[in-house]
């Protein structure tokens, strides 16, 4: 039986900003279908830059394949259908009059019929616990509710890969827990870029540490977060009283 094609395959990815700042310095990374992966690291490590490459918002040197399809001009539409990105600030994704209109925007642009668009909109809002809010204006919702609606705008496209930038930021504890439960239950490949190490631990199975634009470590998240020396070497620190269990994974690997 032949192995499955990885969900994401990155080979030799390099990127420098127009001012010459080198953000990614040769990233090699493979993520299998169905994995939940936390991308962690200190400020300036290249995490957000990497995220913006995963559906072609930024284009560096190297190769990125999505289920075997390289990201290039001719494949951008298909890649962006398969890779959904939820940004840190939900207001970057909510701009129409009602929640329903925001969530329906993507499926409508796919050319789907009204019944299918309505079905996907309802399904996506229910999946994030926002059913019944469709006629509300997003700007009247709480920050946590807007985060969930922003996630629904991506889920309505039925992506195969969900990429989230700092999903727990600025959330109160209840909203943080609720969104974490929602994300854990979604049956898609998940890549979560976060500074929130406990959130990463409870949401993901695997962790990748980026540091200086390179993969510094890659392994089961329990093992990565239990290695105090590894965390200290890359300016990462667990909150006081939080003690991950290494048994959640077997061993950490360095890149």
Dihedral, CA of residue 212, residue 214, residue 220 and residue 224, to nearest 10: -30
Is residue 255 assigned to a domain?
A: no
Q: What is the mean pLDDT of residues 67-91?
A: 93
Is residue 2 assigned to a domain?
A: no
pLDDT, one tens digit per residue, over 109-139 is: 888 999 999 999 999 999 888 999 999 999 9
Is residue 168 assigned to a domain?
A: yes
Is residue 1 assigned to a domain?
A: no
The domain total for the chain is 1
- Provide the mean pLDDT of the chain: 91
Q: What is the pLDDT of residue 173?
A: 85
How many angstroms separate the Cα of 117 from the Cα of each of 83, 136, 159, 191? 19, 18, 15, 26
At 3, is the pLDDT very low, low, confident or very high (cuts 50, 70, 90)? low
pLDDT, one tens digit per residue, over 157-207 is: 999 999 999 988 888 888 888 888 888 888 899 999 998 999 999 899 999
Is residue 254 assigned to a domain?
A: no
Q: Which domain holds residue 18?
A: 8-248
CATH number of the structural domain spanning residue 73: 3.40.50.300
Is residue 3 assigned to a domain?
A: no
- Using CB atoms within 10 A of its CB, is residue 152 exposed (0-12), middle (13-18) or buried (19+)? buried
At 247, is the pLDDT very low, low, confident or very high (cuts 50, 70, 90)? low
CB 10 within 8 A of CB 29: yes
Residue 252 has pLDDT above 80, yes or no: no
């Amino acid at each position: 039986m032949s192995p499955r094609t990885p969900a994401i395959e990155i080979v030799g990815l390099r990127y420098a900003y127009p001012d010459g700042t080198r953000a990614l310095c040769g990233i090699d990374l493979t993520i299998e279908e169905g994995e939940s992966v936390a991308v962690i690291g200190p400020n300036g490590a290249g995490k957000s830059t990497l995220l913006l490459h995963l559906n072609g918002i930024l284009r560096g040197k190297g190769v990125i394949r999505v289920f075997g399809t390289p990201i290039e001009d001719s494949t951008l539409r298909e890649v962006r259908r398969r890779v959904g990105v939820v940004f840190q600030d939900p207001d970057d994704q909510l701009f129409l009059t009602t929640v329903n209109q925001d969530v329906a925007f993507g499926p409508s642009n796919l050319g789907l019929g009204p019944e299918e668009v309505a079905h996907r909109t309802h399904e996506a809002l229910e999946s994030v616990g926002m059913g019944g809010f469709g006629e509300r204006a997003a700007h009247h919702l709480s920050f946590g509710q807007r985060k969930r609606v922003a996630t629904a705008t991506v889920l309505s496209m039925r992506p195969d890969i969900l990429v989230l930038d700092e999903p727990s930021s600025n959330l109160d504890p209840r909203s943080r827990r609720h969104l974490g439960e929602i994300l854990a239950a979604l049956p898609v490949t998940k890549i979560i870029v976060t500074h929130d190490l406990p959130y990463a631990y409870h949401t993901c199975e695997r962790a990748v540490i980026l540091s200086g634009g390179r993969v510094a470590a890659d392994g089961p998240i329990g093992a990565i977060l239990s290695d105090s020396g590894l965390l200290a070497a890359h300016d990462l620190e667990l909150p006081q009283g939080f003690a991950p269990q290494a048994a959640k994974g077997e061993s950490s690997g360095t890149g």
